[in-house]
Structure formats: C-alpha cells, structure tokens
Structure 1
C-alpha cells in the first residue's frame, strides 16, 4: 500500500519518566502512560514500522502495511533503554532513537545550560543492546545546537561528525536525522541531504503522505501530560492539540456538512449525542457499585467488589482482562496451584540452606534462659521475628548476607563462606566500634540501603548503621586503607584516588581471603527517627532508592494514628529537612482490637520507583487468626494515594466477627488469596514487607498462619505456607522442614528475585534461600528496578558515595584506627 492512500503518523517521544518540574512536562512522559499508549497501538491494530521502510516507500520501492505508525525518541535519554525498550520488545515494535553523540554516556548538557534539570543519557553499551533488539539509531547532531544559527560549515560538521561516530561505533549505516529544537530552513535541509541522510524529522505536526518531503517529516509531539484519550485524539486528527475541543471542531464540521448547513439539525445531533453519553456513563457508574462473581481461565469463581467508576486502580477491573493483561505483561501465569483457599505465587521454586550458625555461637544468640513469647526457644534471640538482609552491589550478585540477633549481627560471605560477628551476643549497649568491639541492641526497625550497602537500624531514638570496609593499597605510598566495599564492584576503586592521592589496587589477601571490617556508627545529626505505618509492628526505615535520604514522620505511629499525614524527607548525612509531602488522598486509620486488628500489623517499604507501600493487616484475631486487610501506595512525588486492595467492608461488618463462633465457621479458610478486589481476602500477622527488584511484586512476611504473601498487579497469592501441620502443602513436590511460629517474618529479595529468610523455628539458627528454577540466576538486564535506577546511574551514585567518604576520610577512619 503506497503513501498516496495513507496518512502516516510519526510519534515523537523524549524521556519516559516522571517529570521533576513543570518544565519537564513537555518532554517527560510517565512510564505508565507510555505503556498504555503502546498497548493501545497493538490493540487498535496499528502497525509500527521503521523509518527505513518509510524511506523506501518515499523512494517508491516499498509497501506500507495497514495502519502504519512510526515511533521515534529524541535526545537518547537513559530511560529509553531502562523503561521504553522492554515495552517495545514485548510488543514487538520497531523504533528510532536520535542520539546527541557528543553527550552519549553523559547528561543533557544543552538543557542544563538553560537551567533545566539534569538527566542521564544512554551509554554506548545501552545503544548496542537496543540495536541488537531491533531499534534503529539516527543523528541528533554532536552537541544539540540550533543549526539555523550556525555557519554552514559548522552545521555540516555537526551532521557529518555525528554520523561518522555512530557508524564507527555501531558498524551499521546511519540514514536518519532529527533537527535539534525542530529548527530548519532550506539551507539546513540542503546540508542534511549533502551529509548523506535519507530522512529527517521535524517538530511540525501532521501526517505524512505521498507529497511530503522526506527530509522534512512531520511528527506528533507526545507530552508528559498526554493521557490515553489525548494520545488517541492526536493520533486520529494529526495535530498536537489533543484536547476534547479538537474532536468537537472536527465533528462539528462533519455534522454541518451532513446537515447541509442546517444549524438546528446539527444542534439536534450534538444534543442527542450528549444525552446518550450521559445515560451510558451514568449507567456505568451505577453498575460499578455492585458486587459480582467472575470466573478466571481455570474456571475458579471469585466474588468481586467494584470500586466505583472514578476509583483508580493500577490494573483492569475485569477479571478476564486483568488475567490477559498480566500474562502479556509478565509472560507467566498470574497464579499457581490452588489448595483450598490458598493460591501459590507463580513459578517453580526450590529452596536451599545458605548457612547455619555454629553451635558455640548459636548458644550465645539463642533465647535460652530468657523470657520469650509463650516460653518458646527463639533460635535468633528473644524477639518474635527473624530478620535478614542481602546486599548485591550494583544490582549484581549477592556478596553479603546479614542476619540479626538481639545484640549482634551475623554476617555471611557467600564467596569465602566465612561468618563474622558484629557486636557481642548478650552484651547490650550503644557503643560505636569495629566488629565485636561495638555494642548494640537490635529491634525490628532496620533496613538495608542497596546503593551503599549500609545496614541502618534505629536503637532507641538513635540512627545507627553497619558499614562494610575492605582493604585497598595505594600504589603511590604502599599504604593499605580500609574503604567502602562498593569500590569492589566493577573495579570502581580505579575511579577514585586513595587518601594519599595515589591510584588504588585491591590489597593482597592473607590466606587467600581479604578480611573485611564491619564498622558500627551512630549518625548524630539525624534526630527525627519516627516511622509511619502500622500501630504495633511492621514499620521500617523508608530509605529513598538513591540512598541519600529517608522518609520519617513528625510523630511515631501508634494505634489509630499511622502518621503518614506528616511525612517528610530528611538527608541521611546532615539530618536536614529536604521537603514535606502533602498527601493527595487518605491513608485510612489503623484499627486495633486489643493488640490486634487491621493496621496493628502489616508492613511498609519503599519501592524501586520511590513509592511508599503500606499494608494494614490484622494480627491473630480470634481462634481463626485472620482478618481483612488493605494496602496503599503513596507517590512520593505527588502525594497521590492509591488503594491496591481493600477487603474491609465499608459498613464495618467485619468488626462484628472478631471472636467465637463467627470465626469458627471459617476454620478451613484462615487465609484467602485471590483478585485484589475480592471481598473475601483475609490476612493475619504479616509484619515486614519488601519489593522484588526483578518483578516489582510486594512480598509481605509474617508469623503463625501467614507465611509469606505476595501482591502483584491486582492479585494476592501465597508464596510460602506457614501452617505447622502443613494443612496446605507449601509447594508441589517439596516440604519446607520448618514452620512459622512467631518467626521467619522478614523476607529479603535479591536483584535476581531470590528470597532469603532468617529461619527462627529450625533446630539451629540458619538462613535459607528460595529460588525459581525457571529464572536465570543472574540479574536480568531489564528488571523492574532498572526501569527507575539504571545500572549506569547506580554506579554513579556508588562512586559519589565513595568520594564523599574519602573527602571526610579522617573522621570516617577514627574508629578503624582505634
């Protein structure tokens, strides 16, 4: 089909990310909107084509498919790889990215020079991988200068040099060009032709037909404010005005034409359309408040509660559509085998023991001789929970496993298989120091920063942390310095200077091992350590993804008050207030029934996207030990509160059945999984939660009946059963030889999706790992976390952290010298 019979739209994107200020709304499109737009193109039977094909058609050599569209990106932002590329691959869509070759691997210097926010650009490694994945690359000049303001020779150099660099790097012809700022004239167009390009894209809006100049292709600019309806209108009418007025003007003209100029006839048609629209939307809104039953593809019936026409959810409301959406998005079944009321999380899983604590040390850290909950021997101490954390520098392999006891932390090195003790078991205190010289008392308020590897914990009202140091030798002086372990990753020690000013190398190992030092410090400048969240247990430090700051509240959460209404972001070095967050929406109050009830237990965490997730679950309410629950996400940029699931009936009827016969009727359905809008969802003492970097799923671990629950894209499942008698087999084909009596409540998830737990109910203290056999062991390149924090940005943050440490080396080294 030739271009004479088609109108070909070319879409122009820039950054696929949340805008950081009002100015960026013109170039930054949120990932969720980009994904909706790509799904629309596929579902509406558009066929994305490459600029190569469009050039062939313009030359009379090719044929376009039905409903063609071209996808382009200007500037080459890093999120084109981290966020857009995985979606393009999943949809099978080609695209063209125009690179500013002089800035590849750096930042958008042309915007920064004008006072704009700094954003990272693609690296050449990113470009090579995208090229292998079917993405075409074009030139956006060397330095993003306005070509109309340059001398012809300089403008031609910008075009030719960028083309030369790309062809040398990529070893493919570079045929396409995009005018910086869209500025061009006849002279500039002539230079583009002289430089050897086949097509060139402008910023002028419109469709492209047979009469279009292939060196002045029109594009539709997709703004950060373009919702799906606006995007559809732009695509339909071929201009950058996606407002509803575009549709009204278009159909107004059509109505007047068909009415033969009769104004009353046209008005009658318009009023009829408005009336029908109101009736349709009114009926939809009314129907949305009902309770319905639906079946999934396996024939299972679910009782679902509609959330209302205006209520937002991050997944489709229809069960069938949600299941289809989930399969397309993740390429896997959204649920596993169903055993009575439990549905196992996706995947074929196995488990293995990571390490056991030697008997001599186990005797010191166990609760023997201490008063414990129910007089049960706690293997990791007198606390009710077992906690562990894993660190995988740069999002790679796990290098460190930390397990928390009462007065000590056990560190395990998966490479050397060596155990180290931080603190002194059964000696309480708050003294800073190295290794066993430090004194500490550990509670549940702990979190690990994935950038720096610091393990933060709140002791009383003090903000403390453990930091791992490794030995490096200065090539200039021969001196050995103990520096942050982040420098080991990707040989980053080569990017910084030693405290003596020389190059660094890894210090020679003794007995084949480099002995680490673990330093415990108190950050005295951080004064406010109040945490929002559940009233009793489940709160943990909410560290931002960049590792530089954390969210605290002006008051501690308790009983009904979850303290989210006074969220504020504080710098983790200076303790200074960075900004406050005003909520757009409401986080419902905690509900307590004695020591239990929804909101008494639950969990909080910060996701890779920077959002805060808050679960409000109950404890052991009545003999059945379960209650309804809910979870919200809080956008830390806008304050927007979105409910992810909520099985607490608005009429409060669930409060009337907290004990006795009402619960006994449900003895076989202690916990219930299913779609997130099922009214039947039940939870019990879940405590701590975290996000899977690989998939974005939220894991919430607990004791007693809970095991580990998982929320992902509108579906609640059970990862691991906790029943002592194993009433429901935890996984087909295997039995986990432990149970969850007030323990095993804190899963830690590695970048590759493996789960680690500190087993508190086995015969000896141990840490176990759960892993999927159908996943590669290594961290995937395009994981959920990397959409928001690409490895290049992670590495820059790690280098920045190491440089700050070195800049204040004298103060940081005091404890080591002691």
Structure 2
C-alpha cells in the first residue's frame, strides 16, 4: 500500500472508529492498562520486515490512541494502577531493543500526538552493533543469488534466488537457531555474514541518539546487555545480563532505569520465574513480558503483559485491542 492509499484508508478507518469505539468500549469499562509493544517504525515498506509499521501506519495508530484512549508513560501508568487512579482506556506504548528508527521515525509521530513512550535497550548494540536476528536477515538480504548450504552448522540447504526464497530461509534459520546457545548461534551468524555483502552499522541507536531520546522525555528501560534468551543461561550469567544492562544505562544516562523488558519475553519459554526475582534484586521496580493481556492492580509487577498491534487497518487494530482486553493477567 502506498502513502496515498495509507492516508485514504486511515481517514476512512478513523471515521469508522470514531463512530463505533465509544459504543464498543463504553464509558464504564474497567480500569485496565494495555501496554503496546513495538520494535521498529519504517520509513517505507520493507518486504523483509512485513510486520513492522511504516511511519504512515504508525501515525494513524498513534492518532487513534490519542483520540480514543488515554496514553500514559509506563512508569506513571503503573503508579496509577496501584493508586487506583488509572484513567479508563489507559494505554502505554513501548519499544524493544533500541533501534535508531525509534528516534528518527517514531519520535516525531509520538510528539505530534502527545503520546509518551518507553524504549527498552540492549546495551551491547549501542554504537553500531547488530542483533543476531537482524544479522541473519541482513546477510540473506545482501547475499548473491544461489544456494546456501549450512549442513556443517546443523542446518539445511536453502535457496536465496529471490525475495520469497530469502524470506523463507530467514524464517527457517531464525527458528532453528533461536534457542541455541549464544556461541552456537553466533557461529551461524558469522558464517552468514562471511557470505554476504557489508552489513548495516546504523540500525541500532548510537550513544548520542539514546541520550537524545532520553532528553526528549522518552523513558529508557533495561533489556539486558546481549539480548539473550534468559532461560538458556546459567543463573549467574542471567544475573549479570540483567544487572549489567542496568549499570550500562546508568553510566550512559546518569540515572538507573526503573523498568525492564525480558528478551523475547514469553514466560516459561524465554524466561523463568527465577529471572523475575533477579530483575527485582537488580533494582528494577517492574518488568514487562510479551504475553498477551492487560494489567490491573492484581497483576504481578514483574510479569506485566504486552501485545503487538500488527494490523494494517484501524478496524483490525481496534479488534486486537478489544481481544487483548479479554486476556487479563
């Protein structure tokens, strides 16, 4: 969909939402907090990142939130949950990992509609780093056409002749190595990078960009150092990742972050209850997951649910918001 089509669809959708949302949600809905999860906001459509919103899509999503919900900074929202002063239709916007486009593309839209946000940053990738999943994608994006044979790394034989085959290879390789040890995963990343053209060095926030986000009022939260799947680590390794990431951000920003996001974030799969205790002991006041749901006064502050609005129209965005309301945590 091009920018003009996005604008037309957004205008139609906004009128639709304005007409039906008050009837659907009502004025006496329970005091629940919806926490939205984003990663990136793209300048234009990317066939290798089909679920990431463009600036135009993010614009109508934030306009919808500003018009029909009550956007709050996550830390304030959690305080108001406990105090019993949370407004109806409360929502908090969060971003994971620390991509540069959070500053370049998302922040202008957030400021346009007065929507606060929290960005959870994995500190190793500041100033030119690349997360392993991004390295897989960008390696295959820039790889010469042909066959990619990775049997020596416990993987398969993949076609990379066109966009569709490359996308399929990215999905399969990512799935296969996701829960390997960091060293095993890095071996695959290195092998792919050796077959590809030069990888980008500006996907993640620089130190100056991170500080600019914080100066603009964006809340910065911890997200470990290396973005590991905590459930695959020994307890002492997980403890270091959680605590060191907090220390890194304190050194960069002058104060320690109060909020934490579990990498990948599925309880019992990506992190365990012991890790929630490690987060608390590291000094964080709350932590968010990627399990669906809404937060209430009864929610565990270290197991707060979030959901991702991967929707191309405002109607579907609204439907996902409503479905999420049924998944209380």
Q: What interval of TM-score do these two structures reach, taking the shorter chain for normalisation?
A: 0.5 to 0.7
TM-score w.r.t. length of structure 2: 0.66
1:348 maps to none
What secondary structure sits across from 1:54 in the alignment?
Answer: helix
Asked if 1:53 corresponds to 2:76, the answer is yes
CA, structure 1 residues 240+229, in 2 after alignment: closer, same or farther (shift >3 Å)? farther
CA contact (8 A) 1:57 1:63 kept: yes
SS in 1 for 2:264: helix
Q: Distance in 2 between matches of 1:167 and 1:20?
A: 34
SS at match of 2:295: coil
CA distance in 1: counterparts of 2:34 and 2:236, whole angstroms: 33
Q: Are positions 1:92 and 2:114 aligned together?
A: yes
- 2:306 maps to 1:219: yes
Task: State whether residues 140 and 178 of structure 1, in contact with CA within 8 Å, keep that contact through their aligned partners in structure 2.
Answer: yes
> What does the per-residue CA deviation read over 1:602-659, in whole Å, with 9 as the maximum and x for residues that have no partner?
xxxxxxxxxxxxxxxxxxxxxxxxxxxxxxxxxxxxxxxxxxxxxxxxxxxxxxxxxx
The runs of 4+ residues in structure 1 deviating greater than 3 Å are 112-119
Q: How big is each residue's C-alpha offset from its partner over 1:286-316, in whole Å with a ceiling of 9 and x where there is no partner?
A: xxxxxxxxxxxxxxxxxxxxxxxxxxxxxxx
Match of 1:208, SS state, is: coil
Deviation at 1:156, TM superposition (A): 0.8
CA offset at residue 68 of structure 1? 1.2
Give the secondary structure class of the aligned counterpart of 1:71: strand
Q: 1:197 aligns with which of 272, 284, 289?
A: 284
Q: CA deviation at 1:21?
A: 2.9
Superposed CA deviations along residues 555-602 of structure 1, whole A, max 9, x for unmatched, are xxxxxxxxxxxxxxxxxxxxxxxxxxxxxxxxxxxxxxxxxxxxxxxx
What SS class does the counterpart of residue 203 from structure 2 fall into? coil
Q: 1:433-512 to 2 correspondence within 5 Å?
A: none
The answer for unaligned runs of 5 or more in structure 1 is: 242-818
Q: Is the 8 A contact 1:9 1:208 kept in 2?
A: yes
Could you tell me which residue of structure 2 aligns to residue 7 of structure 1?
Answer: 32
Aligned equivalent of 1:43:
67
Structure 2: distance between partners of 1:205 and 1:189: 17
Is the partner of 1:156 in helix, strand or coil?
helix
Residue equivalent to 1:129: 212
Map 1:7-86; keep pairs closer than 5 Å: 7-17=32-42, 18-22=44-48, 24-26=49-51, 28-44=52-68, 46-58=69-81, 60-61=82-83, 63-86=85-108
CA distance in structure 1 between the aligned counterparts of 2:326 and 2:231, rounded to whole angstroms: 24
Displacement of 1:237: 2.3
Aligned-residue Cα RMSD (Å) equals 2.3
Aligned equivalents of 2:236, 2:326: Cα separation in 1:
33
Asked whether the 8 Å contact 1:10–1:69 carries over to 2, the reply is yes
Structure 1 pair 113–11 and aligned structure 2 pair: CA distance change class (3 A): same
Partner residue of 1:233? 319
Q: Deviations over 1:648-694 (max 9, x none)?
A: xxxxxxxxxxxxxxxxxxxxxxxxxxxxxxxxxxxxxxxxxxxxxxx
CA distance in structure 1 between the partners assigned to 2:31 and 2:88 by the alignment: 9
Distance in 2, Cα, partners of 1:6 & 1:66: 5
Please identify which structure carries the higher helix content. Answer: 2
Within 5 A, what are the aligned runs for 1:328-339? none
**Where is the strand percentage greater, Structure 1 or Structure 2?**
1
TM-score by length of 1: 0.27
Distance in 2 between residues matched to 1:111 and 1:179, nearest whole Å? 16
Does the C-alpha gap of structure 1 residues 149 and 136 become closer, same or farther in structure 2, counting only changes over 3 Å?
same
- Partner of residue 160, structure 1: 243
User: Do the aligned partners of 1:205 and 1:239 also contact (CA within 8 Å) in 2?
Assistant: no
Structure 1 residue aligned with 2:226: 143
Deviation at 1:61, TM superposition (A): 4.1
The Cα of 1:53 is off from its aligned counterpart by: 1.4
User: Given that residues 47 and 69 in structure 1 are in contact (C-alpha distance below 8 angstroms), is that contact kept between their aligned partners in structure 2?
Assistant: yes
The aligned runs of 1:566-581 (5 Å cut-off) are: none
Given that 1:220 and 1:240 are in contact with CA atoms closer than 8 Å, whether structure 2 keeps it comes out as no
CA contact (8 A) 1:199 1:215 kept: yes
Alpha-carbon displacement from aligned partner over 1:118-140 (angstroms, at most 9, x marks no partner): 66011121122221221100011
SS at match of 1:108: coil
Highest relative contact order (Cα 8 Å, sep 6+), 1 or 2? 2
Kept after mapping to 1: 8 A contact 2:73/2:116: yes
Q: Structure 1, residues 79-110: CA drift from partner, whole Å, max 9, x if none?
A: 11011101111212211000011101224322
| C-alpha deviation, 1:41, in angstroms | 1.3
User: What is the CA deviation profile of residues 779-810 of structure 1, one whole-angstrom value per residue up to 9, with x for unaligned ones?
Assistant: xxxxxxxxxxxxxxxxxxxxxxxxxxxxxxxx
